[in-house]
Amino acid sequence: MRLLILGGTVFLGRAIARYALDAGHDVTAAARGVTGAPVDGVRFVRVDRDDPAGLSNLDGDFDAVVDVTRRPSHARHAVATLADRVGHWSFVSTCSVYADDSTPGQRAATAPLVAPAPAEVDDPSGDNMEWYGPCKVTCESVVRDGVGADRAFICRAGLIIGPEDISDRFPYWVRRLAAGGEVLAPGAPDEPVQFVDVADLAAWLVRAGRAGSPAPTTAWGRRCPGHASSPRWRRGWVGPIRS
């Protein structure tokens, strides 16, 4: 399979590249090359996704593409340039697109979503993180409308953890618990939590591209009951747990 990763130089993108290479696929990563470096063995193409023509130096066709963007303009530019040259399109979205996070048993295909981002919002970072979910909703629509629902795999990921995580959302807790002392943690000690391992998610995305999987899907790992008292959370922690 000839796979194109739009990104491919940071965290999940690198994990996708590693898995795909190990599986014997031909991998191209298209990115600015500013925040990270491509995995050895990947063909790297430097692009500027802010430019509507910024992907024009990507030549040939691809069996599958994986895009992780959070910016609607980047999704539009990619679809406009590549839709007729790609067999299958995986878009990594987020569970933040769901409008109702309190009702169990919902399904990705029918769960209500938050409203799309307004036209003037295109970069949900920094002070604009409140628009992260809405921008991803917009990106989902761009991909689905641009390549067709039968060729689009919308993968709504939960909290991704694993090697090379630059967000520090999960690594912070590992370091903090290892340091010892009293720890102030959110939520109740018996509340379950869910993560998705970056290697598992990468494998799923590559296999989805190979199989041509359609439809939206939520990407979570197993529920970890009682996060504060579980061995996974408490490894190395011997202090008291108070709610």
Q: For the segment 175-213, what is each residue's pLDDT rounded down to a tens digit?
A: 888 888 888 877 777 777 788 999 999 999 999 999 999
Each residue's pLDDT tens digit, 26-66:
999 999 999 899 999 999 999 999 999 999 999 999 999 99
pLDDT at 105: 85
Domain ranges across the chain: 2-165+195-221
| Predicted confidence band of residue 18 (pLDDT cuts 50, 70, 90) | very high
Tokens standing for residue 82: 């590549």
| Predicted confidence band of residue 240 (pLDDT cuts 50, 70, 90) | low
Question: Average per-residue pLDDT in the chain?
Answer: 90
Each residue's pLDDT tens digit, 151-177:
999 999 999 999 999 988 888 888 888
Residue identified by tokens 């470096």 is 37
| Predicted confidence band of residue 97 (pLDDT cuts 50, 70, 90) | very high
| Predicted confidence band of residue 230 (pLDDT cuts 50, 70, 90) | low
Which homologous superfamily is 2-165+195-221 in?
A: NAD(P)-binding Rossmann-like Domain (3.40.50.720)
Q: Long-range contacts of range 40-46, CB-CB < 8 Å, 24 or more positions apart?
A: 42/5, 42/8, 42/17, 44/8, 44/9
Residues 6+ apart with CB under 8 A from 30: 4, 5, 6, 7, 8, 44, 45, 46, 47, 55, 58
pLDDT at 108: 92
Burial 105-121 (b: 16+ CB within 10 A, else e): eeebeebebbebbeeeb
| Predicted confidence band of residue 225 (pLDDT cuts 50, 70, 90) | low
Q: In what order do the strands lie in the sheet with 62-67?
A: 43-46, 26-31, 2-6, 62-67, 86-94, 152-157, 215-219
Report the SS3 class of residue 167: coil
Model confidence, pTM: 0.89
| Predicted confidence band of residue 221 (pLDDT cuts 50, 70, 90) | confident
**Cβ neighbour number for residue 181 with a 10 Å cutoff:** 8
pLDDT at 177: 81
Q: Would you tell me the crossing angle of helices 11-22 and 198-211 to the nearest 10 degrees? A: 60
Tokens standing for residue 132: 């992260």
Which residues lie across from 31 on neighbouring strands? 46
Q: Given a cut of 50, is residue 82 above it in pLDDT?
A: yes
pLDDT at 231: 45
Residue % of the chain over a pLDDT of 90 = 72
